[in-house]
Amino acid sequence: MDDTIESNESLAKLPATLAAATLLTACGGGGDSANGGGTTSAAPPTAVESIAGAQAARFLSQASMGATHEQMTRVQALGYSKWLDEQMAMPASQSRWDWLMAKGFNAIENKNNQAGIDSALWVKLLTSPDTLRQRVTLALSEIVVASLDGFTGAWRAFTGAAYMDILEANAFGNYRTLLQQVTLSPAMGEYLTYRGNAKANPKTGSMPDENYAREILQLFTIGLLKLNPNGTATEQETYTQADISGLARVFTGWDNDLAGGTNDTPDYRKRPMVQVGTKYEPGEKTFLGTTIASGVDAATALNKALDAIFAHPNVAPFVSKQLIQRLVTSNPAKEYVGRVAAVFENNGSGVKGDLKAVVKAILLDQEARSASNLSSTSFGKVREPILRFTAWARAYNATSPSDAWAIGNTSESSSRLGQSPLRSPSVFNFFRPGYVPPALGVVAPEFQIVNESSVVGYANYMQNAISKGIGDVKADYSTLLPLADNVPALVDEINLVLAAGQLSTDTVTLIRNAVASMATGTDTARANRVYAALTLVMASPEFIVQK
């Protein structure tokens, strides 16, 4: 079958369509961040007796890597809460580390490259049955950030795989445990430069590296300003330079566990870092109102430090709000943040940091589930490029017959997605959680990676992926091709699965007219209609905006 899309005036205007979509997104994706933004409903979640297909698809846009008819049916059968329980109880699929090992990427010739890691990351995002766990793992990777391009040592692919596997293993665990494992991971030790960190040397004037001490406070736990329980900020700073210097003394002496004395295999990249006693600072350490006495051993000092940070009242609203932003809406109402932060603080059994309870609270909250927010200009978020891509791949069962999943690094913005998993350009993520686009006046984090180049690049990349695939990664359109001669049915079907039935009447009319103007009557013509309909839906404002 010829899978080249026929020339069509509507398709030729696709980049302009997407540009308009992003502008509409900017107008409808935020609220007033200064006063909490979003809706202000304070009532607890209400039970839903029946779930329509569009409601199920909308839920999955927040809770998964992409809606499918199978998952929509499952949500309808179980209800939201029980679907979440089922997903959380699901066993993890093959780890990224094990995928690399099974494919032979531990061969010595790969010691100093990144071979295999992009494929290992994509195969999980696109195919793993535990779709909720993958969505939360992706969210955590954009909060507790490490990045492939910041790994400088050997076995960088395995370093990245081990790190993402840590995030996945703790996606429904406890945030305190996650902090512990991240702190001792070779990935974070290398990325934020405290692996091999040595105590102060009075003779040379050298001081312990403060990089991780600063970022664990600023970005991973408490932020720059003290917060109210609902996430609104005060004018009081959370820490001082003295706090950073004191905390940095805790992160001394930690280095790779080279059991056997060699790095010719990647195994050490999976093991937690260990202590090198001669580099550890045994003296007193004071930070955040906590003092660790002189002579306390390194492991105990680390635990005490992380306990002190985790006990800070900012942790619950700081982390909760960012998880809401990654899953549901860019400008959550302060009441929404407060409700979720209360669950973070206490899961009902006196446990703080229970991510399973937090994720359920986010996705079952009235603000996430209320249909009234579909028409609210203060609710929703720009769907980041990774999630646009996975929505397409999941909806149409993309497969790689060779099992190579050679999608590669999609970071390039002019010809690819402009974003790629585990490839943030800095520890500040692809986009800042508080980013306000110029002249917009509302928080819209994903807009930080939107520009003229990325708008056109995304449109062209998806048009090619939809019609030709990426290498041998191709979608299955067997459910769409029988609808190609019935344009309204074709567009409605794509609208339901990809956009949760949220395309406006005007958008639906434009897409139907464009597709109906195309030739039909042959398999090639029908395929071209499917490609066109998919491309135009994925360029629409109602798809770009996740409501």
Contact 269, 276 (CB under 8 A): no
Q: Helix, strand or coil for residue 14? A: helix
Residue 439 has pLDDT above 60, yes or no: yes
Beta bridge partners of 206: 201
- Distance CA(241)–CA(246), nearest Å, equals 9
pLDDT tens digits, one per residue of 164-185: 999 999 999 999 999 999 999 9
At residue 452, φ and ψ (nearest 5 deg) are: -55, -40
- Contact assessment for residue 389 and residue 126, using Cβ atoms and an 8 Å cutoff: no
The most distant pair of C-alpha atoms in the chain lies apart, rounded to whole Å, by: 83
In whole angstroms, what is the distance from residue 129 CA to residue 93 CA? 7
| Mean pLDDT calculated for residue range 29-41 | 39
Closest CA to 185 of 198, 207, 167: 167
Q: What is the chain's mean pLDDT, rounded?
A: 92
For the whole model, what pTM was predicted? 0.93
Q: Name the residue among 290, 295, 299 with its Cα closest to residue 252.
A: 299
Between strands 285-287 and 290-292, the pairing is antiparallel
Closest by Cα among 306, 336, 339, 299 to 222: 306
Of 33 and 133, the one with more pLDDT: 133
Lowest model confidence (mean pLDDT) among 41-55, 251-265, 346-360: 41-55
Would the pLDDT of 276 be above 50?
yes
Structure-derived torsion over alpha carbons of residues 226, 230, 232, 235, reported in degrees to the nearest 10: -30
Q: What angle do CA 340, 344, 346 make, to 5 degrees?
A: 115
Q: Which of 422, 444, 442, 441 is nearest to 433 (CA)?
A: 444
Q: Any alpha helices (H) in 106-146, and if so which ranges?
A: 117-127, 131-141
- Cross-strand bridge partners of residue 469: none
**Percentage of residues of the chain with pLDDT beyond 90:** 88
**pLDDT band for position 363 (50/70/90)?**
very high
Beta-carbon neighbour count of residue 505 at 10 Å?
A: 7
Tell me the average pLDDT across 84-106: 98
Give pLDDT tens digits for 386-431: 999 999 999 999 999 999 999 999 999 999 999 999 999 999 999 9
- To the nearest whole percent, how much of the chain has pLDDT over 70? 91
Contacts of 356 (CB under 8 A, 6+ apart): 88, 172, 173, 347
Instruction: Report pLDDT for 377.
Output: 86
- The two tokens of residue 153 are 């040592």
Q: What is the pLDDT of residues 213-236, one digit of tens each?
A: 999 999 999 999 999 999 999 999
Measured CA to CA in angstroms, residue 537 lies from 232, 259, 359, 401, 531 at distances of: 36, 53, 29, 27, 10
From CA 119, how far away is CA 466, in angstroms rounded? 19
Rounded CA gap, 300 and 305, in Å?
Answer: 9
Residue 463 Cα distances to 317, 406, 459, 468, angstroms: 40, 18, 6, 8
Cα of 417 vs its chain's centroid, Å? 15
* pLDDT given at position 49: 55
Q: Is the C-alpha dihedral spanning 412, 413, 415, 421 positive or negative?
A: positive
3-state secondary structure of 204: coil
3-state DSSP assignment of residue 79: coil
Alpha-carbon span 436 to 432, nearest angstrom:
9
Cβ-proximal residues to 220 (8 Å cutoff; 6+ apart), any chain: 143, 144, 179, 182
* Helix extents (H) in 238-297: 241-248
Strand locations in 99-250 (E):
225-227, 233-237
pLDDT at 488: 98
Structural contact between residues 452 and 49, judged by C-beta atoms closer than 8 angstroms:
no
Confidence of residue 21 (pLDDT cuts 50, 70, 90): very low
